[in-house]
Amino acid sequence: MPVVSALYQAPATPISELQTLLDRQRLAYGADPYPPLEHRQQWLKSLRQILSDEREVLIDAISQDFSHRSPDETLFAELMPSLHGIDHTLKHLKRWMKPSPRHVGVMFQPASAKVVYQPLGVIGIIVPWNYPLYLAIGPLVGALAAGNRVMLKLSEYTPATGHWLKELLGRIFPEDRVAVVLGEADVAVAFSGLAFDHLLFTGSTHVGKQVMRAAAENLTPVTLELGGKSPAIVSADVPLREAAQRIAWGKTLNAGQTCIAPDYVLVPHNRVEGFVEAYRTAVHGFYPTLTDNPDYTAIINERQVARLESLQTDAERKGARLLTLYDHGQGRRMPHALLLDVSDDMQVMQEEIFGPLLPIVTYHRLDEALAYINARPRPLALYYFGYNKAEQEHVIQHTHSGGVCINETLQHVAIDDLPFGGVGPSGMGHYHGHEGFLTFSKAKGVLIKQRLNSSMAAYPPYDRQRVRLVQKLFIR
């Protein structure tokens, strides 16, 4: 089994080659515009096999890119959902590909109508650094299932992972089927300006605007998976230990570097002290110490560490109380902390945190908490903790977010039969499962008539008697 070198730096793809790659894939698509089910199934089976066979290489590469990433986190949060997503697609792909029959009214008979799900062509996918395997494989599976060619741009922050994905995917796919592009921000900018048939971007809202602007030059349709400040609501009567433990798991996974991590918690004003203690207990139960703890993941790089420290400093300077749950970190293993007495003028309440800082906001009534959420940009996820079913439905119906978990965090993203996507500032469009297949397909309406032409009744010159008959029969 190959070992990832600690000094490895993946070579960049020359910008001058990007258009050549696209042209090659477009030419190959033209020669095979509607791959049969058997070919698509074989691509997915080959992808599953190599991910399973080379799992240790990929886990090691991701850990190298983070300086340390818990191998078990990568297994549970990246490899396992990637494999399950492939299995789900293989199970249902035959049904997804079937044309959908549609109704034809009496006036248009004799005729039939159907929707055919046609591959779009060449799909561009821009992959972020926080889950470089899962957020590459998930959209890749949907694009391949729909019969497309794919170009993947991996993050410059994960060079080892990029190298091995390029190597492994190159073993099973020719570059005119799947091509992996590596390089710095200039390569990403050029990539987003290519005339793809569809472009999927996962990343920050700020960069998402730039990607959408570049895609607009080619009228390229986009799916944007962004982020934002996903809230968690603790109800007035939910057991604090249960709520705190589930929120803590969602916030500490990958050291909070998750687009759907709880970004802040709304807690009843009279339960804050109890929640803080329950949360501290939960986090220490997961990670008794940070020193040499193989389960605690590091921040991806020094730039992100500096950004998080700046958020923390700004909040303290403006009056927030910082409750650090550990005396010190280790390297880029940043200590988890809570922030109390936060206010809207703090950067930590304006920007997506993407790290181990968790602000607590107090409220008195549930509708006050919902009003607080609704006054802000719509988030990618929302979490509610409480066992009152009427309140659960009230929260679902009176908030907008990309997705919701009731008494859980994060796990809706791993349910293969649920669509995943944002709304407004947290993104547009969906993928995963059937929605992924539809995103990367053109749902083409088809009307079929044979020799008998009933439309002649509507041809000019218009006979008044014929027009009156049509009005009597079809216009009421």
Pairing assessment for the beta strands 441-448 and 112-119 based on DSSP bridges: antiparallel
Q: Which residues pair with 200 in a beta bridge?
A: 125, 223
15-226+428-443 is classed CATH 3.40.50.720: no
* CATH pick for 231-417 out of 3.90.1720.10, 3.90.850.10, 3.30.70.1150, 3.40.309.10: 3.40.309.10
Backbone angles phi and psi of 304, in degrees to 5: -70, -35
Which residue, among 440, 93, 403, has the nearest Cα to 227 in the 3D structure?
A: 403
Map tokens 């807690």 to a residue: 267
Q: Which residues pair with 114 in a beta bridge?
A: 101, 446
Q: Give the SS3 label for residue 368.
A: helix
Q: Please give the pLDDT value at position 8.
A: 56
Q: What is the mean pLDDT of each run of 10 residues along the chain (476 residues)?
A: 48 91 97 97 98 97 95 96 97 98 90 97 97 97 98 96 96 97 95 97 93 96 95 98 98 96 98 97 95 93 96 97 90 94 96 97 98 97 98 97 97 94 94 96 96 82 77 75
Q: Which residues pair with 361 in a beta bridge?
A: 266
Q: Please give the pLDDT value at position 10.
A: 65
Cite the active site residues.
225, 259
Q: Give the SS3 label for residue 419.
A: coil
CA atoms of 188 and 186, how far apart (whole Å): 5
**Six-digit token pair at 152?**
């993947």
Q: Please give the pLDDT value at position 122.
A: 98
Question: Taking a C-beta distance cutoff of 8 angstroms, is the pair 435, 427 a contact?
Answer: no
In the chain, where are the structural domains located? 15-226+428-443, 231-417
One-letter identity of residue 190: A
Which residue, among 275, 152, 230, has the nearest Cα to 402 in the 3D structure?
A: 230
CA atoms of 47 and 141, how far apart (whole Å): 9
**Six-digit token pair at 52?**
């399973």
**Six-digit token pair at 270?**
């009279």
Q: Please give the pLDDT value at position 5.
A: 43
Q: Please give the pLDDT value at position 108.
A: 87
Q: Please give the pLDDT value at position 9.
A: 63
Question: Taking a C-beta distance cutoff of 8 angstroms, is the pair 402, 424 a contact?
Answer: no
CA atoms of 355 and 337, how far apart (whole Å): 10
Question: Taking a C-beta distance cutoff of 8 angstroms, is the pair 56, 75 a contact?
Answer: no
Q: Please give the pLDDT value at position 12.
A: 85
Map tokens 């997503």 to a residue: 85
